[in-house]
Amino acid sequence: MSIRIEDLVYRYPNGALALDRVSVTIEPGERVAIVGSNGAGKSTFARHLIGITRPTSGSVWLDDWNTADHSVAELARKVGYVFQNPDDQLHARSVAAEVRFGPRNLGFSPERTAELTAWAMEATGLTQLATAHPHHLSLGDRKRVTLASVLAMDSAVVVLDEPTTGQDHKSVETIGRLISELSTGGKTVFAITHDMDFCAENFDRVLVMAEGRIRVDMPTDDWLRADQDFDRYGLQLPQITRLAHGLGWPESVATVGRFMERLPGHTGATPPDS
């Protein structure tokens, strides 16, 4: 599904201008990271994709649907949104019930609902916690429950607001792999993130937001290579890029895999944990 945002402006009722003439087009299967400092407008932008925030002016198109003409329930068939704060999303008494809610609510058959629920819990490492009460889980586990509940809805677009919040190293890798699988399967994945290592490893394209506008829209590698204005946007280069710079390498390197390839004497073996 392609997404077209045209001249999107959003002003909160208190007058704060959160989005200022944002225009961008995203093609099916793209993996797009949205980065930028606190208050840049990232979450406000993302909430427009699912219609829980509506444009003050401008428009959001999902293929030939203008979101203004559709309810949140209709939009939920096309776009899944994992909230920044999991507690804004969780409502059921068990992990399995939470994950099952979405596909059941969309009217999927009991078999398809069971299949998607089992898959989403497995993919996010929650199978063992199926009967646990979401509110008794850690922040990281609660965040993965919300991720699973969106995955189970099998929507064409998946929007993840800070997916690595509270996640340990292994879970961050699992989420990265999932994002890759979703995009290979033709789904469009957006993730808002402050984690530049995660951004470099998992996203082809980056949108940098500041003061309600998209200031940069580039392939992630090119942007990291251009290596400018990071401080201005409240960002820091990925650790591996800073290490390569510190070693005086002439070429910029964004991922651990590429760093290993460029090491003198590299044998072609896959580096551990990358």
Ligand X SMILES: Nc1ncnc2c1ncn2[C@@H]1O[C@H](COP(=O)(O)OP(=O)(O)OP(=O)(O)O)[C@@H](O)[C@H]1O
Which residues of this chain interact with ligand X, rule CB under 6 A? 12, 14, 16, 18, 36, 38-44, 84
Residue 129's binding partner, choosing from ligand X, Mg ion, none, with beta-carbon cut-off 5 to 8 A by kind? none
Rank residues 52 and 68 by Cβ distance to ligand X and give the closer one: 52
Question: Contact between 220 and Mg ion (CB under 5 A)?
Answer: no
DSSP 47: H
Q: Which amino acid is at 217?
A: D
Residue 249's binding partner, choosing from Mg ion, ligand X, none, with beta-carbon cut-off 5 to 8 A by kind? none
The sheet that has 188-192: what strands, in order across it?
79-82, 157-161, 188-192, 31-35, 205-210, 213-219
Q: How far is the CB of 44 from ligand X (least distance, A)?
A: 3
Q: Where are the alpha helices (DSSP H) in the chain?
A: 42-50, 72-75, 95-105, 110-123, 139-151, 169-184, 196-202, 220-226, 239-246, 256-262
Question: Contact between 43 and Mg ion (CB under 5 A)?
Answer: yes
Which stretch, 43-51, 200-208, 227-235, 244-252, contacts Mg ion (CB under 5 A)?
A: 43-51
Distance CA 261, CA 267 (A): 8
Rank residues 52 and 73 by Cβ distance to Mg ion and give the closer one: 52
Question: Contact between 193 and Mg ion (CB under 5 A)?
Answer: no
Question: Contact between 44 and Mg ion (CB under 5 A)?
Answer: no
Distance CA 56, CA 16 (A): 12
Q: How far is the CB of 42 from Mg ion (least distance, A)?
A: 5
Candidates 202, 200, 217; CA nearest to 259 is: 200
Rank residues 129 and 210 by Cβ distance to ligand X and give the closer one: 210
The residues of the shown chain that bind Mg ion, judged by CB under 5 A, are 42-43, 84
